[in-house]
Structure 1
Amino acid sequence: MAYWFHRNPLKATASVTFELHGVSTNDQTRKIFSDLRMTRSKLLELLTDPNHDKIVVEKATNDYFSLLLGMYMSFKQDEPENKLRKIIRFKWSSTLLGNVTMAQNDVIFEFASMGINVALWYTKHAAKLAAKEDPDMDEAKEVHKCLRIAAGLFTYIKNDLVGQLSTEEEVKGADIDTRVLEAYINQCTGEAQEVTLARAIEMKHNPSLIAALAAETGQMYQKADDALASLDVKVVGKWRKYFQLKSNFYLAYAHSYNGETLLAADKCGDAIRGLKESVILYDKASLLAKEYATIKGPGTTARPADHVFFRRLGPVVKRTLEKCERENGLIYHQKVTYDPPQLELKATYGLVSPEEYQPPSMNPLWNVDSYSKFNVQMAPKPEKKSEKEESLPPVKEKEVPMSDKDPKNVSGCVVS
């Protein structure tokens, strides 16, 4: 939604030539290294621009990863580890840590790091599509799809790759920190569910379904915030403000629509208390939105409190509350409880889950014969761990203009 999707910067990386003279011993092995170099460079260039077509980036990703697989997948049953896995040193920055550079002689580190950048591209592409003034249904579906793909890729990296990496250079708040990956997973899932929720509001679905979806969405953002709670606030503070304001905002939404459901069931006293809770949560979200706009840290610069999607909820809640209080004074005369009604709601439709990521098939250039022709005895000795790796310049990302107009649809949903 315009000024609503927080985006961290892409990871920076050092150039990798894959020129290992003596390791590649014939035309086929040299072609593998040459193709690795070209496909890596092409993919990195594409990822800086969210305007590219999803199919183009997907093909470039598979082209590179299908070659990279041959450097860590097993070719021989009696070989404990692919002999090529640790012959090249890869250097990457992290999305939250500025110029802090991590380096490992490990192809799996490269796969995980590049995979994070690919997942980030899908989130930025989704944000670009939804920033349009009036996105059509196909574009809304692609936003939803891209966010689920990103969530699935982050999940694969967290569950299948990170555990295989060395922990010698573990850095708190780095992208391969499982807490950071967990936050990304919940963020992407929550944002995809926002698209579902906006559609439900637009189509005027049952208030109880909207309340349940909103409650689930608020909980997803709470989980994302919880994942970062043990990390340095100077590093993750801005990102956490985003999660906190969204969690409170959607819980306010949930209590608002639940209030409508309670009123329809003649539970006016409970409806009043729920709507009062919605006002409290909305006011808290408003404060967090202002703090988010001023706090320093990596990521989007935005003023979410100024966006129509945010502004519209407050007056709606207050009008509904006033209506309930009038009805209660004239008709129901019900007691307003001290505690708000429990949101014991489980959405039966519209819940979002990450799309499972499947790595591509290994490039046909790889086989037992081509693998055997690589001579790792000629590989350079692994670099010694230095006190401070060289700083990597930040990635120059193509800026996508944000819509400064209020959206035309009922939900007010355009994405940043």
Structure 2
Amino acid sequence: MTHWFHRNPLKATAPVSFNFYGVAASPAANKICNDLRAARARLLEMFTDVTCNPDMMKNATDAYFSLLQGFIVSLDDTTKENKLRFIQNFRWTDTLHGNIPSAQQDAVFELISMGFNVGIWYTKYASRLSGKEDITETEAKEVHRSLKIASGILKHLQDAYIPRLITPAEKGRDLDPRVIDTYIVQSQAEAQEVTIARAIELKHSDSLIAALAFETANFYQKADHTLNTLEPDQTNKWRKYLQLKQFFYMAYAFCYHGRTLLASDKCGEAIRSLQEAERYYAKAESLCKEYRQTKGPGSTAKPSEQLFFKKLGSCIKTTLEKCQRENGFIYFQKVPAEPPQLELKASYGLAEPAAFEFPPLSSQCTPEVYATFDLTRGAKDDKAKPKQEEEVKPVKEPDLKPQKDTGCLIS
């Protein structure tokens, strides 16, 4: 399914040379610096390579992060802090603030920022894979898995590394708890969308589908509310997407709850539930238009043009008409004035963030090699004229052409 998910831009970063010629006082220390530079460049290339898959991404991330740990993990018994942690300055943009970089001279900031981009890559990979024609069951599982990995990476950064920063996260930037929370919850919600599509395709019970849809709508509502205290210019478009998905899955919940009520001979209540589904669906359609017209960061999804979206509208219409016919011929039940209260809890299919850990320290980073980094000597180019900071160029992401929407349920 093409253009189903909204995606914000990747973070961009300034080049980093790791040229510590005066400080790296041994061939092994110099090799670590050279390998770091090459591994970083390779990982950055992977973000925009359309042929990159999760295995390739894992190899690239493991190669870089295992070496970077040599600037973070303590390698001697005299201090808890790695002496190399603050030797290099890193500059990164944010996913919502255009090409305005933040800078910190801190290897932990680099690990968090690059890790954040890896998480965003997994969401983009899931979106790209879900846009294929005739997506297979294996590919659907890969979409689901990638979204859980994305939320797991971001949660790990939030819990274990962001609190270690000397300079606190700036308001509205990627490391602001409100922003990172939204990404985590959105990834969980989108993983559950795959579960719902699968449950519909395999004809699971209407009550399970209704419960999953209700839980998913609540995830989107939570994500939207998390952003409501941030600057509208950066978040309005993103929030419209979260809102339209919330209303879409509320329509799903009421539709399938209505089907459950009808199966229990509660035809009057079923009609009222379907009417509520109609109301939410109309609001979702309206929000789709508002979303497309709202300016802001990120690609523009087109959910209302997808068959998956349109099929729900048809399902609501035909089910409501059936309920009204049955009520006129068989049940003769009064239609309640108030819609049913959805108190649905899914027992299965809820998406939790996948557990994530950074790779262990590279075998190159031994205490003996670490001892040959001599900070008292200073880098050879320290006395040179200060260089003008290089511009941080936006990431040129591939322009993927839409594929024909086959109406496949696995979105």
CA distance in 2, matches of 1:324, 1:167: 60
Q: Which secondary structure does the structure 2 equivalent of 1:377 belong to?
A: coil
Cα drift, residue 197 of structure 1? 0.8
1:11-410 matched pairs, under 5 angstroms: 11-167=11-167, 170-379=169-378, 392-407=392-407, 409=408
Tell me if the contact between 1:99 and 1:391 (Cα under 8 Å) persists in the aligned partners: no
Q: Which residue number in structure 2 is paired with residue 7 of structure 1?
A: 7
Cα drift, residue 293 of structure 1? 1.1
Q: Aligned-residue CA RMSD in angstroms?
A: 1.8
CA distance in 2, matches of 1:50, 1:73: 33
Aligned AA (2:244): L
CA distance in 2, matches of 1:19, 1:102: 21
Q: Which residue number in structure 1 is paired with residue 385 of structure 2?
A: none
CA distance in 2, matches of 1:348, 1:398: 39
Q: Which secondary structure does the structure 2 equivalent of 1:400 belong to?
A: coil
Cα drift, residue 390 of structure 1? 6.8
Tell me if the contact between 1:273 and 1:340 (Cα under 8 Å) persists in the aligned partners: yes
Q: Structure 1 stretch 299-308 or stretch 30-39: which is displaced more?
A: 299-308
CA distance in 2, matches of 1:404, 1:137: 18
Tell me if the contact between 2:14 and 2:390 (Cα under 8 Å) persists in the aligned partners: no
Cα drift, residue 78 of structure 1? 3.5
Q: Deviations over 1:59-105 (max 9, x none)?
A: 01000000001101112344131111111000000011002210001
CA distance in 1, matches of 2:308, 2:114: 34
CA distance in 2, matches of 1:173, 1:400: 29
Q: Structure 1 stretch 73-82 or stretch 255-264: which is displaced more?
A: 73-82
Tell me if the contact between 1:193 and 1:352 (Cα under 8 Å) persists in the aligned partners: yes
Tell me if the contact between 2:240 and 2:291 (Cα under 8 Å) persists in the aligned partners: yes
Q: Deviations over 1:248-305 (max 9, x none)?
A: 1011101100000011111112111111111111111111111111111111123321
**1:14–1:131 Cα change, 3 Å:** same
What runs of 5+ residues in structure 2 fail to find an aligned partner? 383-388
Q: Which secondary structure does the structure 2 equivalent of 1:181 belong to?
A: helix
What runs of 5+ residues in structure 1 fail to find an aligned partner? 383-388
Q: Structure 1 stretch 125-134 or stretch 327-336: which is displaced more?
A: 327-336
CA distance in 2, matches of 1:167, 1:276: 52
Q: Which secondary structure does the structure 1 equivalent of 2:376 belong to?
A: helix
Q: Deviations over 1:25-45 (max 9, x none)?
A: 000110111110000000001
**1:113–1:45 Cα change, 3 Å:** same
Q: Percent identity?
A: 49
CA distance in 1, matches of 2:328, 2:405: 40
CA distance in 1, matches of 2:355, 2:184: 12
Q: Which residue number in structure 2 is paired with residue 385 of structure 1?
A: none
Q: Deviations over 1:194-237 (max 9, x none)?
A: 11111111111110111111111111111111111110111011
Tell me if the contact between 2:134 and 2:406 (Cα under 8 Å) persists in the aligned partners: no
CA distance in 2, matches of 1:403, 1:203: 25
TM-score (norm 2): 0.95
Tell me if the contact between 1:66 and 1:363 (Cα under 8 Å) persists in the aligned partners: yes
**1:390–1:228 Cα change, 3 Å:** farther
Tell me if the contact between 1:101 and 1:391 (Cα under 8 Å) persists in the aligned partners: no
Aligned AA (2:316): V
Aligned AA (2:240): K
Aligned AA (2:6): H
CA distance in 1, matches of 2:307, 2:131: 13
Q: Which secondary structure does the structure 2 equivalent of 1:35 belong to?
A: helix
Cα drift, residue 379 of structure 1? 4.0
Cα drift, residue 165 of structure 1? 1.1
How many correspondences in the alignment? 405
Cα drift, residue 347 of structure 1? 1.1
Q: Structure 1 stretch 389-398 or stretch 183-192: which is displaced more?
A: 389-398
Q: Structure 1 stretch 50-59 or stretch 359-368: which is displaced more?
A: 50-59
Tell me if the contact between 1:289 and 1:305 (Cα under 8 Å) persists in the aligned partners: yes
Cα drift, residue 162 of structure 1? 1.0
